[in-house]
């Protein structure tokens, strides 16, 4: 299983909490906030935040704030971008149409904000 290797590569110990987090995020189809997750988590919030922070340092997970002013976390899978609707606040993952290299900048991540298809009709 790749979770074990992922963690050992980064010199992180394989613990129940980390396994749980990585399993949740690797099967999630959208970014998740702590608030959405907390009821199903078996770990303390301190452990959640400490591990998320560790995962961010190791570029395993990334994070952004949505329009509801909450942080959403997502595992770094194949490059894709996010669209946050200013009206319904829904977050959609989109295939990135952008080049990952633009005028000397390397683009790792794109967040679009605007009006989604549904709200726009």
User: Which distant-in-sequence residues (6+ apart) come within 8 Å of 11 by Cβ?
Assistant: none
Span 46-75, contacts to a second copy by CB under 8 A: 62, 64-65, 71
User: Which distant-in-sequence residues (6+ apart) come within 8 Å of 51 by Cβ?
Assistant: 17, 18, 21, 43
Q: Which of 28, 83, 90, 93 binds a second copy (CB under 8 A)?
A: 83
Q: Does 111 bind a second copy (CB under 8 A)?
A: yes
- Across the strands, what pairs with 94? 81
Q: Which of 34, 62, 64, 76 binds DNA (CB under 7 A)?
A: 34
- 21-29, 31-39, 44-52, 113-121 -> range binding a second copy (CB under 8 A): 113-121
- What backbone phi and psi angles, to 5 degrees, belong to 64? -150, 160
Of these partners, a second copy, DNA, none, which one is at the site of residue 29 (CB under 5 to 8 Å by kind)? none
Q: Does 112 bind a second copy (CB under 8 A)?
A: yes
Helix (H, G, I), strand (E, B) or coil at 30: coil
Span 70-109, contacts to DNA by CB under 7 A: 70-71
Residues in the chain, overall count: 121
């Amino acid at each position: 299983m790749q979770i074990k290797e992922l963690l050992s590569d980064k010199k992180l110990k394989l613990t129940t909490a980390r396994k749980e987090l990585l399993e949740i995020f690797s099967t999630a189809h959208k970014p998740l906030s702590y608030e959405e997750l907390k009821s199903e988590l078996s770990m303390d919030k301190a452990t959640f935040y400490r591990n998320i922070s560790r995962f961010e340092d190791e570029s395993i997970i990334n994070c952004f704030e949505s329009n509801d002013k909450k942080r959403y976390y997502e595992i770094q899978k194949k490059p894709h971008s996010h669209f946050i609707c200013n009206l319904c606040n829904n977050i959609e993952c989109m295939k990135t149409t952008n080049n990952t290299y633009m005028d000397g900048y390397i683009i790792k991540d794109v967040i679009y904000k605007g009006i989604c298809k549904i709200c726009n009709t």
